[in-house]
């Protein structure tokens, strides 16, 4: 005689136990926490990079403006700057009214929509600039401008060096600027 078993009496379990679900949820939570932290650090790094590139481009624009026959002096703000604050500004020594060769009326500002504050320091402190022939002058060369988020985190630098005032963006570490990008 053959005994037939009904499928509802099967001994195999279908589904996951509560402990398996809790372990998987914990692992996914740990990975999500790591991903969010990495994303925030990357976002901060890109904000500092963007400000450094913007500053380097602005300085290069001032250098080109000086080639129109005006000596342009650049002053970089030291300390903390936030939305709509001036980062750097120029003045021309031999200004002709209305010429605006040195971008006097167009200082570099932190984006008004930015909710980030930057800490700037210039070494050496003070003013540097370009002559009417485009040559660079400073108390000492090179000039290194360091940008960091006020809350800490990644740091970048803009270095201006040489007779022609080559502008380079680099990574700041231990007070030195290792450059790689030229403008």
pLDDT above 50: residue 3: yes
Structure confidence at residue 121 (pLDDT): 81
Q: What mean pLDDT comes out for the span 173-181? A: 73
Please, which pLDDT band fits residue 119 given cuts at 50, 70 and 90?
Answer: confident
Of 84, 85, 58, 52, the C-alpha closest to 72 is 58
CA distance 157 to 172: 5
| Nearest alpha-carbon partner for 63 in 5, 160, 125, 134 | 134
CATH code for the part of the protein at 18-182: 3.55.40
Question: What CA–CA distance (Å, rounded) separates 41 from 37?
Answer: 6
pLDDT of residue 8: 59
pTM: 0.76
Structure confidence at residue 23 as a pLDDT band (50, 70, 90): very high
CA distances from 151 to 74, 83, 155, 171, 172 (A): 26, 15, 11, 18, 16
**Coil, helix or strand at residue 72:** strand
Q: Compute CA distances 21 → 26, 27, 71, whole Å.
A: 9, 10, 70
> Which residues does 82 contact at the CB level (< 8 Å), separation at least 6?
110, 114, 116, 117, 118, 150
Q: Give the integer Cα–Cα distance in Å for 91 and 24.
A: 62
Q: Using the predicted structure, report yes or no on whether residue 100 has a pLDDT greater than 60.
A: no
């Amino acid at each position: 005689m053959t005994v037939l078993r009904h499928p509802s009496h099967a001994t195999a379990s279908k589904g996951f136990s509560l402990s398996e679900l809790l372990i998987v949820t914990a692992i996914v939570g740990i990975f999500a926490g790591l991903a969010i932290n990495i994303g925030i650090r990357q976002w901060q790094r890109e904000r500092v990079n963007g400000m450094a590139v913007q500053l380097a481009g602005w300085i290069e624009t001032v250098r080109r403006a000086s080639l129109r026959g005006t000596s342009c002096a650049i002053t970089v703000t030291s300390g903390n700057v936030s939305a709509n604050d001036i980062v750097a500004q120029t003045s021309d020594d031999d200004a002709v009214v209305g010429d605006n060769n040195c971008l006097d009326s167009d200082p570099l500002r932190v984006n008004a929509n930015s909710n980030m504050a930057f800490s700037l320091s210039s070494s050496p402190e003070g003013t540097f600039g370009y002559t009417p022939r485009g040559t660079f002058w400073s108390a000492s060369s090179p000039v290194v401008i360091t940008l960091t988020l006020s809350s800490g985190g990644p740091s970048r630098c803009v270095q201006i060096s040489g007779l022609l005032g080559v502008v380079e963006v680099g990574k700041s570490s231990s007070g030195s600027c290792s450059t790689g990008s030229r403008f």
